[in-house]
Structure formats: C-alpha cells, structure tokens
C-alpha cells in the first residue's frame, strides 16, 4: 500500500517518547508498504536528520512550524472562538493542508496515518482510509493536571482544555476508520470520550532493545535520574511534587544522594530550586545521557498526570536500570510491582522505595534484569507492532 504518514515531530533522532514511538512504527510499516512522510519541522537544523529516514520512506516532505508567545496567544483566541482545543488550534497550518492535498492529487495514496491527535484534522481532509495513531488519551492529561497542579490558573485552564479535548477527541475517534491505542486503559478513556466503542486496535509503544543496550551502573551509585522534557506540564509538576514530598526525606537519610534532571526548557522555579541545592543537577537537554545512567541507582517517574505509555520506562528496562514510578507513570505497561519496577504514590512510600534500592544493590540488580526480560518479551517492535499487519493488509 501507499501510506501517507503525518507527524507533528520529525521522528528522528529517536530521543523523545513521541519520536521513539513513531520511528519504530515507521520502520515496521516500511518493511511491507511504501511510505511518504510529511512532518512539521521546528528548526531549520532538523533538515539534516531527513537523510536518516530515507531508507524507510519513498519520500519525505516538511513544513515549518513556528512557535512563539504571540502565536500561542493567537491560537488561544482561535480556540475560544472556534470551540477547538488549544492544542489543535496551535498547530493549524494551511501550508500543511495544501502540501498533502497536492501530493494526493499527483499520486493518490491508499491510506493516511495520522501520528498523534494533532495530525488528525489534516488526515480528515483526504477522502481515503484514515488511521489515527493515538499515543495516549490526550484529554486525560489536562484532566489529571487540573486535579494536581498547585496554581489556580493552571487548574482552571487545564479543566477548560480537558472539556474541549474530550469532546474533540471523541469525535475524531468516531470519524477515523481505525484508531491505534497503546493500552486497554487508553482504549477505555477514549471510548468514554467517544460515548461508546469505535474500531480500535491495541498496539503498545515498542523499541528495539538492541539499540538501548544495558548500561553498567557505577558501584555505590547514589544518583537518581529523571528524563523528560520540562516544557511539558505533567513532567514539571511531577518534579515539583518529588522535590516537595520525596527529596527532603531522602536527603535526611542519604545526604550523598544526587538528582539528575535531564529535560529541555526547565521552568524558572525549578532553576531556582537547583541553584539553592547543589545536589540537584538541572541539566536541560542532553544528547547522550549515558554518563547519568551510569551514575544512577534508579530512574524516577513521579508523574501525577498523563496518559499513554512512558517510553522512558521501556528504555530504563532495556538498559537494566531499576525504576520507581507512580501508578500513573507506569499505567498501561506490563508492570509487576516489586518484580520489574517499584510503584509508590505518596511521598513517604516513594522515598522508602528509593532508599531500599540504594541500600540493597543486589535487589536493584534483580529488578533491573526483570525489566530487561519484560522488554525483550513484550516490547520489541518486531513483534509488538504486528497488529499493524491487520490494519494495513
């Protein structure tokens, strides 16, 4: 089949969760189908990565996506007057519509694959088979953020956006021929939004374990690692919660503990927090975080809002690094608390789980090995992506 894949983020290099998921989906599809990729680009420098995608694509086309506070304000006004969610209004680009319509007229496609909800409106403009690759149930992200955010304005906006996203996402699921969901929990959330069942196919986020090899940790490692873009509110709120509720308890017992926070665009309040405590290393974006994996006793996933599957846990499992997560952080995964990761939802329990790993390296190693086995068995893209064979026969 000739498949038109639409992505909001260029799926290379595979360093963020969305990029990793899309990259391995693209690789799997390219084995049997002819793929034309059309993606937004945020920076001109990203054009250098297109060459790495050509082995999997018949053609690659891009459209610049410009972001600024002024453009965000205009998008908010558009959302207010149109009834769209802000998330959708922000990525409205007439040039993208024109490009894909021109490509389809020139050499028609058999199907269009919209990667994430942001790309759904573009897919709807084409009169062909439509598949939505739902990385998560998007409406649940602001809905949960509204319950946990400390600042009143954020809670108000999150509730406002959640209502619009729930209605919009439900309508999109009903409009598409097939919706790929990453877990049963996401399917249920999307069915709630849609007001009932729709044609959904479950396919977890997957990776190539061989490209995320084990990383031996330094003996006596006292580091804790967090990975995730801090411009994404759930990640920033999770770190704030960790610093308020968990960090003081850890430092009181293990004064040598260190926190490595890897993630682009950290907010000003987190920068001030790190400036006051030399044990907190706020590192921003790091192209290769291998040194921090080596120095860390565990990966922390202190999410209290979100949806979908956390790719960072799959990477930690593949690398043999123990994970301590909240229930929301490991939602949708084949998590076996106490075996392939530890789960804690309040400050004292989260701190105690981490202290247990710091004090018992042998247990930490057992949990790390169990995570590696989980990835090899369930999340290798060569087997996990097989549901695509039924979606694209």
Lowest-pLDDT choice from 93-107, 151-165, 329-343, 378-392: 151-165
pLDDT of res. 272: 95
Decide if 203 contacts 182 (C-beta within 8 A). Answer: yes
What is the reported pLDDT for 320? 96
Contacts of 39 (CB under 8 A, 6+ apart): 6, 7, 8, 9, 10, 11, 60, 61, 62, 63
pLDDT band per the 50, 70, 90 thresholds, residue 186: very high
pLDDT band at 191 (very low <50, low <70, confident <90, very high): very high
**Are the C-beta atoms of residues 323 and 342 closer than 8 Å to each other?**
yes
Q: What is the pLDDT of residues 118-145, one digit of tens each?
A: 999 999 999 999 999 999 999 998 898 8
- Has residue 77 got a pLDDT over 90? no
More confident residue, 51 or 155: 51
Question: Mean pLDDT, to the nearest integer, of 353-363?
Answer: 95
pLDDT value of position 308: 62
Residue 279 DSSP class = T
Which DSSP string do the residues of 161-190 spell out, in sequence order? HHHHHHHHHHHHHHHSSEEEESSHHHHHHH
Find all residues with CB under 8 Å of 336, minimum gap 6, and list them.
Answer: 370, 374
Per the document, the length of the chain is 393
Phi, psi (rounded to 5 degrees) for 343: -125, 135
pLDDT of 68 > 80? The answer is no
Considering the chain, what is the average pLDDT of its residues? 93
Residue range 238-296, pLDDT digits in tens: 999 999 999 999 999 999 999 999 999 999 999 999 999 999 999 999 989 999 999 99
Q: What is the pLDDT of residue 332?
A: 86
Q: What is the pLDDT of residues 307-353, one digit of tens each?
A: 666 899 999 999 999 999 999 999 889 999 999 999 999 999 999 99
Hey, is 193 helix, strand or coil? Answer: helix
Q: Does residue 44 surpass a pLDDT of 90?
A: no
Position 75 scores a pLDDT of: 75
Highest mean pLDDT among 71-85, 167-181, 207-221: 167-181
Q: What is the pLDDT of residue 307?
A: 62
Percent of the chain having pLDDT more than 90?
A: 79
C-alpha–C-alpha distance, residues 126 and 104, integer Å: 8
Which domains does the chain carry? 2-206+381-391 (3.40.50.2000), 209-378 (3.40.50.2000)
- In angstroms, rounded to a whole number, what is the distance separating the alpha carbons of residues 115 and 117? 7
Has residue 148 got a pLDDT over 90? Answer: no
* Angle subtended by helix axes 140-148 and 233-245, to nearest 10: 30
Whether the predicted pLDDT of 232 surpasses 90 = no
Of 14-28, 152-166, 186-200, 208-222, least confident by mean pLDDT is 152-166
């Amino acid at each position: 089949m000739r498949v038109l894949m639409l992505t909001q983020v260029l799926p290379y290099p595979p360093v963020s969760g969305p990029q990793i998921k899309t990259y391995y989906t693209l690789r799997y599809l390219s084995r049997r189908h002819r793929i034309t990729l059309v993606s937004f680009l945020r920076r001109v420098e990203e054009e250098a990565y297109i060459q790495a995608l050509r082995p999997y694509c018949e053609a690659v086309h891009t459209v610049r996506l410009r972001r600024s506070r002024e453009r965000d304000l205009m998008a908010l006004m558009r959302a207010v007057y149109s009834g769209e969610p802000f998330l959708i209004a922000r990525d409205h680009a007439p040039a993208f519509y024109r490009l894909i319509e021109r490509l389809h007229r020139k050499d028609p496609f058999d199907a269009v694959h919209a990667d994430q909800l942001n790309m759904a409106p573009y897919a709807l403009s084409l009169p062909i088979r439509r598949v939505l690759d739902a990385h998560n149930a998007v409406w649940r992200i602001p809905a949960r953020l509204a319950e946990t955010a400390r600042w009143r304005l954020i809670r108000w906006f999150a509730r406002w956006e959640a209502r619009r996203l729930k209605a919009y996402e439900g309508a999109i699921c009903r409009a598409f021929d097939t919706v790929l969901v990453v877990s049963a929990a996401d399917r249920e959330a999307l069915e709630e939004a849609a007001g009932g069942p729709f044609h959904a196919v479950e396919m977890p986020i997957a990776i190539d374990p061989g490209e995320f090899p084990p990383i031996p940790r330094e003996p006596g490692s006292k580091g804790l690692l967090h990975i995730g873009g801090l411009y994404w509110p759930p990640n920033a709120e999770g770190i704030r919660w960790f610093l308020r509720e968990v960090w003081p308890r850890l430092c009181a017992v293990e004064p040598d503990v260190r926190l490595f926070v890897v993630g682009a665009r950290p907010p000003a309040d987190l920068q001030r927090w790190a400036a006051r405590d030399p044990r907190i290393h706020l590192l921003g974006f790091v192209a290769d975080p291998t040194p921090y994996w080596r120095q860390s006793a565990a990966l922390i996933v202190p999410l209290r809002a979100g949806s979908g599957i956390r790719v960072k846990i799959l990477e930690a499992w593949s690398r043999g690094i123990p994970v301590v997560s909240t229930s929301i952080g490991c939602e949708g995964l084949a998590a076996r608390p106490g075996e392939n990761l530890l789960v804690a939802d309040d400050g004292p329990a989260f701190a105690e789980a981490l202290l247990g790993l710091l004090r018992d390296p042998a247990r930490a190693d057992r949990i790390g090995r169990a995570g590696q086995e989980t990835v090899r068995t369930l999340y290798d893209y060569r087997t996990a992506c097989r549901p695509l064979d039924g979606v694209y026969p």
